[in-house]
Structure 1
Amino acid sequence: MTIQGASPDLYNEDLAPAKVRNWGPFSIFNVWTSDVHSLWGYYLAASLFLFCGGFVNFIIAIGIGSLIIYALMNMVGYAGVKTGVPYPVLARASFGIWGANIPALVRAIVACFWYGAQTAAASGAIVALLIRSQWFADFNANTHFLGHSGLEVICFVIIWALQLLIIQRGMETVRRFQDWAGPAVWVMMLILAIYLCVKSGTFAFTSDIPMDVLLEKTKDAGVPGTPGSWTALFAVAAIWVTYFSALYLNFCDFARYAPDQASLRKGNIWGLPINLILFSLVAGVTTIAAYDVYHEVLLHPDQISAKFDSWFLAALAALTFAVATLGINVVANFVSPAFDFSNVFPRQIDFKKGGYIAAVIALVLYPFAPWEGSAASFVNIIGATMGPIFGVMMVDYYLIRKGEVDVEALYREDGEFRFQGGWHVNAFIAAGIGAIFSSILPNFTNWLPSWWGVYGWFFGVAIAGVIYYVLRTAAVGASAKVAKA
């Protein structure tokens, strides 16, 4: 689509509707393999396994969560296929042509946090491999700066720099990289599980991890109920859904390159419920087998691979997980801020420069390591900030506009999306109130029940969506009365 009369402050070639749509089902499928098959994805799945107290419970909770994820991603994806625009441009329809910069920057900042977390996880896998050598072990123990060991800092910077090489060539290179990296980690996951099952002498779908160990490992995660209880299972499903909260916003960054909705659905069905359940199954089997072999709960793959007798197998595991984690960073945490920062200053910032900005912010955050701690808590706090934005955008697209958006007007300063001087006040009122209940009150006060934070993303979506619908409907009704008068 060629945009006539586009404002240079709202348009550049990277933000324009997609012209080439060659992301078929396999590429969409690998968006999800790249997003899930990482050290953080495994860490979260293994952590959630502990809350379920058993394998059947785990698969039920993860299965329910995965079906919800599939439905939500289709909602966002259909908007991307139909309009062909990236997330920050689509956000203009609900937040205004200038107001959309706020939700774009929120998503970009979250991506920078995740970028740092994933890079740290990938570099940690390399560190775990290197310290098998006595020289590196001594260097790691005796050299420290920036709040980390010298070896950790060096590995982080190397992994951080490697990702810049991928992004330099644009979205087509991203597609090719993820099409290779996603399946690669599946092979390594299976090797890891088979190795441990052979070493333990059994293949178990039942957990023999004692309840006292489960209670000790999960006591500070903020998940209500004891492992295996219904409250814990509901919380596991909610956390699993919340883990994808960032991509609910910007999945249209990828869906816009799909040729049609059928290709999108096919890629999503294989990449989400099927892939997520199988991945979680392998993570659960590996966690059980690792406990049987080493008699301790090991949630990080690099912790497991560090114990391998075979240096070659340990190296293969470390490198594969590092590459897979690069995959998720490029897909989830490079692409989005690249478009988001470009949306703020289209004249000065293109796709590549936006990605570089995200990388630099992640590098600055590294000494503070805000992502360290409980996986469940980190996911909930980060994810809850984006629920209200998602609620506003989906209500606007499906309930207010019935899936019809004037794409050309998204790039014009004087079009229907100007609202109040380029800002849609009703959208910000709704999102602001939603954020109070999803993020601010549960994380900074004790006014709400302790379990509220686990479901913060859901409360944010529901509260912001309902308020926005009421305000928008009232505004449309008032405009209609004025027009009749």
Structure 2
Amino acid sequence: MEIRNPSPGLYNADLAPARVRNWGAFSIFNVWTSDVHSLWGYYLAASLFLLCGSFINFVVAIGLSSLVIYGLMNLIGYAGEKTGVPYPVLARASFGVWGANLAALVRAVVACFWYGAQTAAASSAIVALLIRSPSLMHFQTNSHLLGHSALEVICYVVVWALQLLIIQKGMETVRKFQDLAGPAVWIAMLILAVGLCVKAGGFSFEHGIPMATLLQKTRDAGVSGEPGSPWALMAVGATWITYFAALYLNFCDFSRYAKDRDAVRKGNLWGLPVNLIAFSLVAGVTTIAAFKVYGEVLLHPEQISARFDSWTLALIAAVTFAVATLGINVVANFVSASFDISNTFPRRISFRTGGLIAAAIALILYPFAPWEGNAAHFVNAIGATMGPLLGIILVDYYVVAKGSINVAALYEEYGEYRYEGGWNVNALAAAAIGSVFSTFLPNLGNLLPVWWNTYGWFFGVLIGGGMYLILATLRPRTAIAPTRV
């Protein structure tokens, strides 16, 4: 769609509706292989596996929650395919042409945190390989910088810089990279699983990890009940759904390039429930085999590959895991932050410049390493901030606007989506109320039970979306004819 005479403060070539839409089901599928097949994805799946208590419980919890993920991604994906616009522009319809910057910056901040977490995970795979050398192990142990070992800092900066080379080439290069990075990690995963199963004396779905060990490993998860209990399984499903909280918002950054709705649906089907279950199964099998071989629970795949006797196998595993983790960073975090930051000052900040700003923030965050610690806690804390935004956007698009958006008006300062001076008060109020229950109250003393944090994203979606529907009913927006001043 060609936008005629857009307002300069709302438009640049990167934020314009996609002109070339050549992404088929395979490219959409690889958005998810890039997103799931990472060190962090494996770490989370293996951590949740411990909470399930058995393989059957794990398959049921991950399978059902993956279907919920599939449904939500289709909802936001169809909106992107229909309008052709990225997330911060789509948010203008519900938050207002200027209010959308608030929704975009929240997502951008989350992207910066995840960007740092994934970069750290990728660099840790390289570190695990390098310290097989006695001299580098000595360097790792005795040299420190910024609260980390000097070797860790060097590897982090190198991996951080490599990602900049990819993103500077634009979205088509991102698509080609994800088509390579996503499937590649299956090679490393299978090498890991098969090698461990051979050492363990065969393939087995038997859990084999004593309950005492499971309790010790999951005691800080903030889950009521022991592993395998109904409460634990609910927490597993909720955390798995919340893991994708960021991409629920900005999946339209990718679906906007899809050929048609069928490509979105098919790509999501194979990339989400099918791929998620298969990946999780491999993570579970590997965790069991690693316990049988080494006698301890190893949740990080680079820790396992570093113990391989063969340098060749360790090298293949480390490099593949690092590349796959770069894939998710580029797809899930770099692209989103680039669009979101560019949306604040379109005339001065391009897609590439926005990405550079996000990368710089991730570099600054590294000494503080807020992503270190319990995986489930980090996922739920980060995800909770975005629940209200998703609830508002989905309610506005599907219930209030009934799936119809004036795309041209998204780029008009004095058009249909101006609301109150460019801000939709209904959306701002609903987001504030939703955030109180999803983000603020759960972290203020003991006002709410501990388990509330696990479901913070869900409370945010339901309360934020519900309040927006009530306010939109009480204060319906008035259609404004597009004008120029």
Provide the rounded CA distance (Å) in 1 between the counterparts of 2:450 and 2:122: 33
What displacement does 1:421 show?
A: 0.3
1:178 corresponds to which residue? 178
Matched, 1:252 2:252: yes
Query: Residue 267 of structure 1 corresponds to which residue in structure 2?
Result: 267
Provide Cα deviations, 1:107-165, integer angstroms capped at 9, x if missing partner: 00000000000000000010000000001000000100100000000000000000000
Aligned residue for 2:61?
A: 61
Question: d(CA) in 2 for partners of 1:376 and 1:397?
Answer: 31
Report the counterpart of residue 482 of structure 2 in structure 1. Answer: none
Specify the alignment match of 1:361 in structure 2.
361
Q: How does 1:35-50 map to 2 (within 5 A)?
A: 35-50=35-50
Aligned positions of 1:261-340 closer than 5 A:
261-340=261-340
The CA distance in 1 between the partners of 2:251 and 2:439, in whole Å, is 22
Structure 2 residue aligned with 1:201: 201
Which whole-Å CA distance do the structure 2 matches of 1:399 and 1:412 have between them? 23
Q: 2:131 maps to what in 1?
A: 131
AA in 1 matched with 2:343: N
Compute the displacement of 1:445 (Å). Answer: 2.7
Helix, strand or coil for the counterpart of 1:406?
A: coil
Written as runs of structure 1 = structure 2, the 5 A alignment for 1:320-399 is 320-399=320-399
Contact 1:29 1:267 in 2 (8 A): yes
Equivalence for 1:237: 237
Q: Which residue of 2 aligns with 1:483?
A: none
Cα 1:478–1:179, aligned 2, differ >3 Å: closer, same or farther?
closer
1:155 paired residue number? 155
Distance 1:331 1:284 in 2: 25
CA displacement 1:48-100 (0-9 Å, x = unmatched): 00000110000000001100000000000000000000000000000000010
Amino acid at match of 1:376: A
SS at match of 2:420: coil
Aligned equivalents of 2:235, 2:221: Cα separation in 1: 11
Maintained 8 Å contact 1:389/1:461: yes
Aligned partner of residue 451 in structure 1, secondary structure? helix
Q: Secondary structure at the match of 1:417?
A: coil
Quick one: structure 1 residues 477 and 266, their matched pair in 2 at CA, closer, same or farther if it must change by over 3 Å? closer
1:28 paired residue number: 28
1:193-232 per-position Cα deviation (integer Å, ceiling 9, x unaligned) = 0000000002111201000000000001112221000110
- The question of whether the paired residues in 2 share the 8 Å contact of 1:91 and 1:393 is answered with yes
Ranges of 4+ aligned residues in structure 1 off by more than 3 Å: none
Correspondence for 2:79: 79
Matched, 1:3 2:3: yes
Report the AA paired with residue 208 of structure 1. G
Partner of 2:418: 418
Partners of 2:476 and 2:131 lie apart in 1 by 64
Deviations 1:299-341 (A, max 9, x none): 0001101111111111111100000000000001100010001
1:5, distance to aligned residue in structure 2 (A): 2.2
CA–CA distance in 1 between the matches of 2:464 and 2:100? 16
Kept in 2, the 8 Å contact 1:128–1:302? The answer is yes
- Aligned equivalents of 1:202, 1:305: Cα separation in 2: 18
Q: Does 1:218 align with 2:234?
A: no
Decide whether the 8 Å contact of 2:419 with 2:477 is kept in 1. Answer: no
Cα 1:474–1:13 change in 2 (3 A) is same
* CA displacement, residues 437-479 of structure 1 (integer Å, 9 cap, x when unaligned): 0011112231112111101000000001111001001112999
Inter-partner Cα distance in structure 2 for 1:205 and 1:199: 15
* Separation in structure 2 between the aligned mates of residue 62 and residue 185 of structure 1, nearest angstrom: 20
1:473 aligns with 2:473: yes
For residues 380 and 444 of structure 2, what CA distance do their matches in structure 1 show? 14
Q: How has the CA–CA distance of structure 1 residues 478 and 101 changed in structure 2, closer, same or farther, with 3 Å as cutoff? A: closer
1:386 aligned partner, one-letter code: M
Counterpart Cα distance in 1 of 2:73 and 2:446? 33
Query: Per the alignment, in what secondary structure is the counterpart of residue 298 of structure 2?
Result: coil
Where 1:135 maps in the other structure, the secondary structure is helix
For 1:431 and 1:367, the matched residues in 2 are separated by: 31
CA distance in 1, matches of 2:108, 2:320: 27
The answer as to 2:432 corresponding to 1:432 is: yes
Mapped contact 1:57–1:228 kept (Cα < 8 A):
yes
Contact persistence 2:39–2:121 (CA under 8 A): yes
1:432 is aligned with what amino acid? A
Give structure 1 stretches of 5+ with no counterpart: 480-485
Residue 423 of structure 2: SS of its match in structure 1? coil
Q: Does the CA contact (< 8 Å) of 1:381 and 1:443 recur in 2?
A: no
Alignment of 1:398-409 (within 5 A): 398-409=398-409
| RMSD of aligned Cα (Å) | 1.1
> Which residue identity does 2:470 align to in structure 1?
V
Q: What letter is aligned with 1:123?
A: S
Equivalent residue for 1:168?
A: 168
Within 2, Cα distance between the matches of 1:123 and 1:98? 38
1 CA distance for matches of 2:416 and 2:25?
A: 34
What is the match of residue 108 of structure 2?
A: 108
Partner AA of 2:216 in structure 1: E
Q: CA deviation at 1:188?
A: 1.2
Distance 1:211 1:227 in 2: 8
Q: Which runs of 5+ in 2 are unaligned?
A: 480-485
- Please state whether the residue corresponding to 2:417 is helix, strand or coil: helix
TM-score under structure 2 normalisation? 0.98
% identical aligned pairs: 71
